[in-house]
Structure 1
Amino acid sequence: MRPAALLLLLLSTGAGAAGYRVGTLAAGLDHPWSLASLPDGRLLVTERAGRLRLIENGRLNPEPVQGVPAAFVKSQAGLFDVLPDRDFAANRTLYLSFASGDAQANATRVVRARLDGAALADLRTLFTATPLKRGAAHYGARLAQLADGSLLIGLGDGFSQREQAQNLRSHLGKIVRIQPDGSVPADNPFRGRDDALPEIYSYGHRNVQGLLYDAASDRIYAHEHGPRGGDEVNRIRPGRNYGWPLVTYGLDYTGALVSPYTQREGLEPPLLHWTPSIAPSGMVLYRGDAFPQWRGSLIVTALAAKQARRIPLQDDQPGAQEILFAELGKRLRDVRVAADGGLYLLVDADSGEVLKVDPQ
């Protein structure tokens, strides 16, 4: 069966029609990339420029969190995701992803640290992607934590090294899985093979920008940027090959074919794809109470399209998509579910914002 494409949209052109209102929680952030809620009500926000910020009592702390490791900052490179550990209330542990190195040799790196007030302590490197690459594009860098505590890290193909996505001796173009101490889980699909890196969980990805684990269904979902078209949402299963660049619904930026195939035997087809591209960024699976009509839906923010897409899911079959937040006219980098069931949105801009979405 051909994967679901963009066939039907329920257009929402204004906040009133969609039943929500949007307010600004914080402004003046330098390309905010990720947001995380802490049990005490504080919010953490990463800025791609290399800063980690705190929002307390609804106000942005003017001083950044201290002790954040230096990131390589250029073009798409910088500080990326922040993820509190499942047991953060007890251990105060955070995970951060960022670009490390320089323009000639860099990689996605993941560290763990303990949040002590407004500073990081006990910093430890858990993972650095290999091989090192040139340039400043396609890092992936989204993080998710599974029920057993292990970490998933979505990685990009390095842009100019797309063939590496099929190379099991390279981390480029993969989703990898590690333990919270950086070790390799015993049940990883390629552990023990001489021809593969043991951290690899799935492969054949272009640039993973959305990654989540849904505890209610025990499923993993990811989305990735295509080139000119071919953005994908995938259900992730261990050891599977998701095809890039052997199959794609997109074209090279020059207009040339990347591959003549959109599907091939043995390669996982996407749940859906967007052609032309919307440039998907963050993603949640909504199970909150504030918007009962959204329950069970993926909500995907988009940069180029300046909107979000709500995608109802039923047994991994996507339903008709709804456009949200297009009236804002802003590049939306990330989306998170708030404790009250509302949403947080991050606006990707030189003077970026944290927005709060509540019922109308």
Structure 2
Amino acid sequence: MIVMIAGSACAQDNRPGIMENTPEISDDQKNYTVETIVDGLENPWGMAFLPDGGILITEKKGELIFAKDGQKTIVEGAPEVVSRGQGGLLDIVLHPDYETNGWLYLTFASGEGEEEGANTAIMRAKFDGKSLTDHELLYKASPNTKKGQHFGSRIAFDNDGYLYFSAGERGERDVNPQDITRDNGKVYRINDDGSIPADNPFVNAEDAKKAIYSYGHRNPQGMMFHPEYNEIWVNEHGPQGGDEINVVKKGANYGWPVVSYGINYDNSILTDDTGKEGMEQPIYYWVPSIAPSGMAVVPGEIYPEWSGNILVGSLKFQYLEMLTLENKKVVARTKLLDGMGRLRNVKVGHDNYIYAGIEGKGIVKIIPKNKHD
């Protein structure tokens, strides 16, 4: 599969495979309006749309907010988090059968454990309109570390009811990602109650972490179930350059840090290899990095001209990037919400409208101009 980049590669990077064959990004055409749905948020990391029209929003600092009809309230009973660096209260999703069972799922930086510091955890709970109840910790990565980077973490369900979540490599690039006996730098798959599926790829591997589904990841902060391909897709931060979109496959190795399209932050070469046998290639990568976070597929009901495109937030360049794909190959790129702020998350609501979480602003809704007619 052909990999592609965005922009110009760093002058120091002359490795084979670093090419400039991707479409230039198109400017924002402003063929839509933006409505602020929830304002006054610091870092709206995750959001989940409730059947009653309310939204549950995670603030990285540790607050869970319930927003409805222009009002915001802080939900009691949120998990205790370690808000350090990139860690805190992270993603939130509802169970696919939420209206029947009431379960919701949260990832966060947890300090539980013998070591000082924190690591990524996932829990489930129920929301009674004011508080979280029935807390169950489903998985906690270990060991803890005081480092502040690369917690991940996003959550997605597939059509079979399996629950996937990501945990970044916690700044231990030479230790965690390539070792299946260690947590971090992984995408995990569990059942909705936290048990391990019997057909997970490493359930019979000695000393392996049985919840691991794929490994060799750096820091996935976008994840979605693609309805057309029936696959879990992630986007993840590279170092300087080399942000990636990967299709998650059972037992697959995504190469970090053995292979990468990025380089070190001091401009030195991290690795001589952009590919190696037995390691998956991304379907798309960015050079320079856009710092991707959040991921969604555009539905056709409201946005027929954008139908099937992929949305990815850019923290670095402060826009929402829309990628047009043909057979998993990017053929066009477009800026949306250009300059509004650091795009932390993007979701499609029950009404099939696009909602984006913007740091220092809140949650906004994208409305095509023809919907105002």
TM interval, short-chain normalised: over 0.9
Q: Tell me by how many angstroms 1:300 deviates.
A: 0.5
Query: CA offsets, 1:238-264, max 9 Å, x none?
Result: 111111000001111122221111111
SS state of the match for residue 319, structure 1?
strand
Residue matched to 1:111: 123
Which residue in 2 is equivalent to 1:12? 27
What amino acid is the match of 2:24? L
Superposed displacement of residue 124, structure 1: 0.7
* Correspondence for 1:180 among 171, 177, 192: 192
The TM-score, its normalising length taken from structure 2, stands at 0.91
Per the alignment, residue 107 of structure 2 pairs with 97
Q: Does 2:294 align with 1:282?
A: yes
Supply the distance in 2 between the matched residues of 1:162 and 1:73 (Cα, whole angstroms). 25
* Cα distance in 1 for residues equivalent to 2:237 and 2:110: 22
| 1:160-207 Cα distance to aligned partner (Å, 9 max, x none) | 444310011112100011111111001111111114211110011000
Counterpart AA for 1:135: K
Kept in 1: contact 2:173–2:218 (CA 8 A): no
Residues in 2 aligned to 1:225 and 1:198: alpha-carbon distance in whole angstroms: 25
Which residue is 1:3 aligned to? 3
Gaps of 5+ in 1: none
Structure 2: which amino acid aligns with 1:85?
H
CA contact (8 A) 1:301 1:308 kept: yes
Please tell me whether residue 83 in structure 1 is matched to residue 93 in structure 2.
yes
User: After the TM superposition, which parts of structure 1 deviate over 3 Å for at least 4 consecutive aligned residues?
Assistant: 160-163
How many Å separate the matches in 1 of 2:129 and 2:253? Answer: 42
Name the residue aligned to 1:235: 247
1:307 to 319, 322, 326: 319
Deviation at 1:310, TM superposition (A): 1.1
Structure 1 stretch displaced more, 307-316 or 164-173: 307-316
Match of 1:68 among 70, 78, 82: 78
Q: Secondary structure at the match of 2:176?
A: helix
Separation in 2, partners of 1:298, 1:273: 14
Q: Does the 8 A contact of 2:64 with 2:74 survive in 1?
A: yes
Amino acid at match of 2:365: K
1:342 to 353, 366, 369: 353
Q: Report if aligned partners of 2:191, 2:197 keep a CA contact under 8 Å in 1.
A: yes
Amino acid at match of 2:80: A
Residues 109-168 of structure 1: CA deviation (Å, up to 9, x unaligned): 111001111211110100001222221110011001122222101110111444310011
Instruction: Provide TM-score, normalisation by structure 1.
Output: 0.94
Change (3 A) 1:285 1:13: closer
Name the SS for the 1:242 alignment partner. coil
Deviations 1:267-291 (A, max 9, x none): 1011011010000000001224111
Q: Is 1:147 the equivalent of 2:159?
A: yes
Give the partner amino acid of 1:97: T
Change (3 A) 1:304 1:295: same
Tell me how many residue pairs correspond in the alignment. 352
Paired position in structure 1 for 2:257: 245
- Deviation readout 1:34-89 (Å, 9 max, x if unpaired): 111111211111100101111112x132x301111110012211100111100111
> Please, which of 351, 363, 367 is the counterpart of residue 354 of structure 1?
363
The answer on whether the counterparts of 2:4 and 2:286 sit within 8 Å (CA) in structure 1 is no
**Counterpart among 146, 153, 158 of residue 170 in structure 2:** 158
Asked if structure 2 preserves the Cα contact closer than 8 Å seen for 1:224 and 1:231, the reply is yes
Distance in 2, matches of 1:181 and 1:13, equals: 43
Q: Structure 2: which 5+ residue stretches go unaligned?
A: 7-21
Q: Secondary structure at the match of 1:89?
A: helix
Offset at residue 10 of structure 1 (A): 4.6
* Structure 1 vs Structure 2 CA RMSD: 1.6
Paired AA for residue 31 in structure 1:
N
**Distance in 2 separating the partners of 1:29 and 1:275:** 30
**Gap change, CA 1:137 and 1:193, over 3 Å in 2:** same
Supply the AA of the counterpart residue of 2:275.
Q
Larger CA deviation: 87-96 vs 4-13: 4-13
Given that 2:151 and 2:169 are in contact with CA atoms closer than 8 Å, whether structure 1 keeps it comes out as: yes
